[in-house]
Amino acid sequence: MIAVAAALWIWNEPIQGLLGDQGRLRSWLARLGPLGPLATIGLSVAQVILAPIPGQFVGVMNGYLYGIAAGTLYTVVGLVLGTAAAMALARRYGRPLVERLVPEGQLTRWDGIADRQGPWFFFLVFLFPFVPDDINCFLIGLSPLPIPRMLVLATLGRLPGVLVSCWVGARAVAFPTWAWLPLGGGAVALAWLFWRYHEKLEGLALGLIRRLTGRQG
């Protein structure tokens, strides 16, 4: 947290120049034509299947680059394609492929949690924070649940989070320069808290989901 705050202070002017020139950056992206949106859609697809970066970051980036409406559209399209691909790959190639794409510990844990769960459970998993929705895309593919229906529920569940992320990105230039220091430090602090207490946060979210679905244990 201290290191990030120091970096924000030292590189204040370059950061301000980058974040403050949103119009110029958007004009440059417009000259790329469809390549810009295709690249960010591809990033969302990769995020679902390979999970190299947090999904919220993609939404914030798209909101900043394309605005709330277009940013939300591109993010949702990428998530739909990535989710459909994850479900279809798991359905087609089965558990051996899923075991290569999902960490063993998480797969074993969520195998027991999601076993014999219905559509309402998975919808809440996609809706609530602190639970690994990308893993559940593969688990849905391994289950007998209909993929088209589950794809609709996954999209609806993720939509509120996408809208919030894109709104934050689109409004980034409205924040004064001095606000980026506490915002950056706060983001790092939240990331540390999630890393440190992710099991407890996941347990709280999962407990609420179970109460809403009437499941115990």
pLDDT of res. 182: 67
Q: In angstroms, rounded to a whole number, what is the distance separating the alpha carbons of residues 114 and 45?
A: 23
pLDDT of res. 139: 95
pLDDT of res. 11: 43
Look up tokens 């506490």; give the residue: 182
Any domain includes 39 = yes
Any domain includes 8 = no
Closest among 76, 159, 92, 82 to 123, alpha carbons compared: 159
Token pair, residue 82, equals 């990535």
Number of domain units in the chain: 1
Closest among 106, 176, 187 to 139, alpha carbons compared: 106
- Yes or no: say if 9 and 184 are a contact pair by the CB < 8 Å rule: no
Q: Which domain holds residue 27?
A: 21-175
Any domain includes 16 = no
pLDDT per position in the chain (217 positions), as tens?
A: 344 444 444 445 544 554 456 677 777 777 878 888 999 999 899 989 986 566 778 888 888 889 899 999 999 999 999 999 999 999 999 999 999 998 888 889 898 888 889 999 999 999 998 888 899 999 999 999 999 999 999 999 999 999 998 988 888 766 666 565 666 666 667 667 767 777 888 889 999 999 998 865 5
Q: In angstroms, rounded to a whole number, what is the distance separating the alpha carbons of residues 55 and 33?
A: 24
Count Cβ atoms below 10 Å from residue 13 Cβ, excluding itself. Answer: 9
pLDDT of res. 146: 96
Any domain includes 71 = yes
Any domain includes 83 = yes
Any domain includes 214 = no
Any domain includes 199 = no
- Yes or no: say if 165 and 139 are a contact pair by the CB < 8 Å rule: no
pLDDT of res. 201: 85
Burial track 150-165 (b if 16+ CB lie within 10 A, e otherwise): bbebbbebbbebbbeb
10: Cβ–Cβ under 8 A, 6 or more apart, which residues? none
SS3 144: coil
Q: In angstroms, rounded to a whole number, what is the distance separating the alpha carbons of residues 202 and 196?
A: 12
Per the confidence metrics, is the pTM higher than 0.85? no
- Yes or no: say if 181 and 5 are a contact pair by the CB < 8 Å rule: yes
